[in-house]
Amino acid sequence: MPQAAAEPRVVPLAERSGRRTVSLVVPFFNEAEALPSLVAEIDGFVRVAGPARELCIDAIFVDDGSTDAGSEALTRLAAGGELAFDIRLLRLSRNFGKEIALTAGLMAADADAVVMLDADLQHPLALVDDFLAGWLDEGYDVVYAFQAPDRPQAWWPKLFRRAFYGLINATSEVAIAPDAGDFRLMTRRAYEALRALGERQRLMKGLYGWIGFRQKGIPFTPPARAAGTSHYSPLKLGVLAMEGVTAFSVAPLRLSVWAGVVLAIFSGGYGLWTVFETLYWGRSPPGYPTLAVLISMIGAAQLIFLGVIGEYLGKVLMEVKGRPLFVLESDTRHPGAGAADQTLMDA
């Protein structure tokens, strides 16, 4: 019997051109105001960097459950087919958080390298040229940006950052680069190693260092947001910091042990002092106030320690449930001008 004809396959532009490929991974949540400016900047960057480096560049946008019209605006911008790059739009079924949205973008990537950046234009695309140089010219697998230490900043965020990185780097098996975020380039073997990690409670900053490979940092000063306001209040940053520390480090548990040791030494010393006062000076320490203070102090410490243990037990519970990291609502592709003009069909 004659065999059925094979389904025609659209060969990707990068496969036809033989160029190296780069995917820009952009998670966003309620960034409808900033997306048009971002797409325009990406378009200008691709038109220059693509030919200069002989690269085929596309973008993977991940809508992390936005409640504004961000995805619709992005679809309208891509519908004309006049952009110099292809757009792939992933819509998650709800807001899963930035760490998971980044992971969803990495799961969808199939390029020689990925560049992760935020949608608020605080990650300048001009710095991506330095990322590409670190990868193509110097052979680094990871090139990341970190905020310059001399940037203008209020005292309390600086103190908060130092405390966070000091605490987590004191006990973790790998150091986290201070003030380095998600703005970075990763080669295929680096991001494939990252997305192979199975934990659901993810501190991406820690995982970037855990996978290893040759890494290079580049300082930069982030510009002001193009539109809108930050979604991270001081309270939310504090909650995220606690989640990050307990997800990647056992520092709170070790601090609990040392706090217990300090309390034991204090209690023992106070007991010896009480005996000394009674035997040598014949004075008995005041009863009720002393007992009330000691009981309150020990009780507060116990509650804190129980809370720390509860945080870790909660994370164990989330891991053993085995739920998927995210639920994908839709996955749409919008070819740019370069792909629209070149459609090759295989028999």
Mean pLDDT of 135-142: 92
> Mean pLDDT over residues 117-127, rounded?
89
Return the bridge partners of 23, or none. 58, 114
Task: Please give the pLDDT value at position 298.
Answer: 74
End-to-end CA distance of the chain: 19
Cβ-proximal residues to 300 (8 Å cutoff; 6+ apart), any chain: none
pLDDT at position 13 is 46
- Measured in residues, the chain has a length of 347
Q: Can you list the alpha helix ranges (DSSP code H) found in the chain?
A: 13-17, 35-53, 70-79, 98-108, 128-136, 155-171, 188-195, 204-210, 234-248, 251-276, 288-321, 337-340
pLDDT of residue 276: 72
Check: CB of residue 59 under 8 Å from CB of residue 92.
no
Token duo for residue 221 = 């000063």
Compute the average pLDDT of residues 98-113.
91
The domain limits of the chain are 9-229+324-346, 251-321
Alpha carbon 162 to its chain centroid, in Å, reads 18
DSSP-assigned states of every residue in 20-88: EEEEEEEEESS-TTTHHHHHHHHHHHHHHHHHHHTEEEEEEEEE-S-SSSHHHHHHHHHHTS-SSS-EE
pLDDT one-digit tens code per residue, 209-253? 888 888 998 888 877 665 555 555 565 555 666 666 666 666 676
Global pTM exceeds 0.85: no
As a whole number of angstroms, the distance between CA 196 and CA 100 comes to 14
**Sequential DSSP letters for 269-282:** HHHHHHHHIIIII-
- Where is average pLDDT lowest: 74-88, 147-161, 185-199, 263-277? 147-161
How confident is the model over 107-125, as a mean pLDDT?
A: 91
Backbone angles phi, psi at 19, to 5 degrees: -85, 160
Q: What integer pLDDT is reported at residue 55 of this predicted model? A: 92
Bigger pLDDT: 329 vs 9:
329
Cα separation, 199 vs 212, in Å, equals 17
DSSP bridge partners of 184: 116, 144
Average pLDDT over residues 289-293: 66
Q: What is the dihedral of CA 187, 323, 317, 194, to 10 degrees?
A: 0
Check residue 342 and give its pLDDT: 39
Tokens 């995220």 belong to 240
Please state, as a whole number, how many other Cβ atoms lie within 10 Å of the Cβ of residue 238: 13
What would the mean pLDDT of 287-293 be, rounded to a whole number?
64
What would the pLDDT profile of 140-183 be if each residue is shown by its tens digit?
999 988 877 666 666 666 666 676 666 666 666 677 777 778 89
pLDDT digits (tens, 9 = 90+) for 33-49: 889 889 999 999 999 99
Lowest mean per-residue pLDDT among 21-25, 119-123, 240-244, 332-336: 240-244
The overall average pLDDT reported for the chain is: 77
* Whether the Cβ atoms of residue 311 and residue 242 lie closer than 8 Å to each other: yes
Per mean pLDDT, which range of 70-74, 94-98, 154-158 is the poorest?
Answer: 154-158
Q: What pLDDT, on a 0 to 100 scale, did the predictor assign at position 238?
A: 59
Question: What CATH class does 9-229+324-346 carry?
Answer: alpha beta
pLDDT at 231: 55
Question: What pLDDT, on the 0 to 100 scale, is given for residue 343?
Answer: 39
Percent of the chain with pLDDT over 90: 23
**Distance separating alpha carbons of residues 105 and 60, to the nearest angstrom:** 6
Residue 288 pLDDT greater than 50, yes or no: yes
